[in-house]
Amino acid sequence: MPTIYYIRHGQTEWNALGRLQGVQDIPLNELGRTQSVHAGHILADLFKRDGESTSSISFVASPLGRARQTMELVRGVLRLPLSGYAIDDRLREIGYGEWEGSTLAEMQAKDPDLFARRQAEKWTVAPPGGETYVVVQARVADWRRGLTADTVVAAHGGTLRALMVVLGLETPESAADLPIEQGVVMCSVTAG
């Protein structure tokens, strides 16, 4: 089965402020750009370790700008054309609906009952106008079924949580609260 080299996008100002971005198109900040370049160097080392050639690997990103910026910075480190990658909407971040742009404290103050329910059941409870992780898991599973080659992905923490469940590496309960740093590179040989 294909290997997935998954990169969570670098930091944005909203990440730094603790604001949920969801599908809002917030660009990388200076630290985020540095993290993305560092991820490119890690990826180059992984390719060397695994005997990979960039010519045999697919590259795909979420359509959101922070993931695309991350991918382009990574490709620059690898000395590849910046635009030589696919975009797949199934890799976009979980939609937080009305909660986008808010901090956890602001959401809790606005609707303490829904906030408490969502904290207890993150995989199945959606914010108003948002998505559940169940929905994200379904679209990520659909994307993964189509993999035919080793692939570098630049996307989001929410889609990585869903992918870990799809691959059987985590349960919905454990993945829901899994901390995932910006600019991290995860490598997984996918399960059958």
180 token code pair: 């995932």
Sign of the dihedral through C-alpha 159, 36, 23, 98:
positive
Residue 190 has pLDDT above 80, yes or no: no
Active site residue 9: yes
pLDDT digits (tens, 9 = 90+) for 43-90: 999 999 989 999 899 999 999 999 999 999 999 999 999 999 999 999
* CATH architecture of structural domain 3-157+182-189: 3-Layer(aba) Sandwich (3.40)
Active site residue 93: yes
Compute the distance between CA of residue 156 and CA of residue 90 in angstroms, rounded to an integer: 11
Closest CA to 10 of 90, 110, 166, 29: 29
Compute the distance between CA of residue 107 and CA of residue 145 in angstroms, rounded to an integer: 35
- Catalytic entry in 9, 100, 131, 156: 9
Which residue do the tokens 């079924």 mark?
Answer: 145
**Confidence at residue 1, expressed as pLDDT on a 0 to 100 scale:** 85
Return the bridge partners of 154, or none. 7, 61
Compute the distance between CA of residue 149 and CA of residue 2 in angstroms, rounded to an integer: 5
Distances from the Cα of 132 to the Cαs of 41, 80, 102, in angstroms?
34, 36, 17
Q: Are strands 86-87 and 185-189 parallel, antiparallel or unpaired?
A: unpaired
**Confidence at residue 189, expressed as pLDDT on a 0 to 100 scale:** 59
Q: Is the pTM of this model over 0.85?
A: yes
Q: Are strands 86-87 and 3-8 parallel, antiparallel or unpaired?
A: unpaired
- Starting from the edge strand earliest in sequence, which strands make up the sheet with 86-87, in order? 86-87, 58-61, 151-155, 3-8, 185-189
- Catalytic entry in 72, 93, 100, 131: 93
